[in-house]
Structure 1
Amino acid sequence: MKALDTVLKTACTTAALIGAIGAINVLAMQPAHAADASNGKVLTEAHNCAACHGPNLNKPVSAEYPKLAGQHADYLYWALRQYQMGSGNPHFGRNNAIMAAQVQSLSQSDLKDISAYIESLDGDLVVKK
């Protein structure tokens, strides 16, 4: 009887592992969100990013605000995510009340769209070599 219990337990454990691996494979095969720059443009206009970062997000109204146009999308995405995490996560967050308020209602897909749009803009950024 003990041998049968051991076999059943092993079979159940194996079936559970196969099911978990199958679920992971299904999730891994889901397409990644392709950033939509046109939606990013709508979002930047709706959130009035130009109020601080200037026309075309390239001429900030104050020297303390960065030029964004042409910046790498992956950098922008993580900067925006850090503003979302804010001071609640001091290891990863950026602490700026204005930016934190601007991005709190945005999804990660929205942030990717905004980042793709800003990257597509012509800007005056200089990359030193």
Structure 2
Amino acid sequence: MSKIRRLAVVMSAVAALMTGATAVAADGAALFKAKTCWSCHGKDAKTPLMPFYPSLAGQNADYAFNQMKDIKSGARSNGQTAAMKGVMGLVNEEEMRIIADWLATLQ
């Protein structure tokens, strides 16, 4: 494979990765809004409505995803999970993953 061809392949792969990351960011932000997460955790995921609600921006994606799953299933039932339980009924696991991945990108 020529150097030019290899460079084109690498550039195509990078462009695909960047497009995918952009799509996840847009989808995550849209889902955060559509699923009403922002109403308690703040539109920027940094300024929660109440001081005892967590700021979610920058949270580890796997941790956030697992917390959402545990709240939805009832495996986690402490703290403010009673309020979250109803909201999590609106979110499927794929959407949880997209939201969690988006939250992890925030500073």
User: TM-score when scaled to structure 2?
Assistant: 0.69
For structure 1, the residue ranges without an aligned partner over 5 or more in a row are: 1-33, 87-91, 123-129
Counterpart in 2 of 1:100? 85
Select 1:73's aligned residue among 34, 49, 61: 61
Give the aligned CA root-mean-square deviation in angstroms.
Answer: 1.9
Letter of the 1:111 partner, please give it.
M
CA distance in 2, matches of 1:103, 1:37: 20
TM-aligned CA deviation for residue 54 of structure 1: 1.6
Structure 1 segments (4+ residues) deviating >6 Å: none
Aligned mates of 2:73, 2:104 — CA distance in 1: 22
- CA drift at 1:56: 0.5
Distance, in Å, in 2 between the alignment partners of 1:38 and 1:102 is: 21
Provide TM-score, normalisation by structure 1: 0.58
Q: CA separation in 2, counterparts of 1:108 and 1:61?
A: 25
Corresponding residue to 1:41 among 29, 38, 41: 29
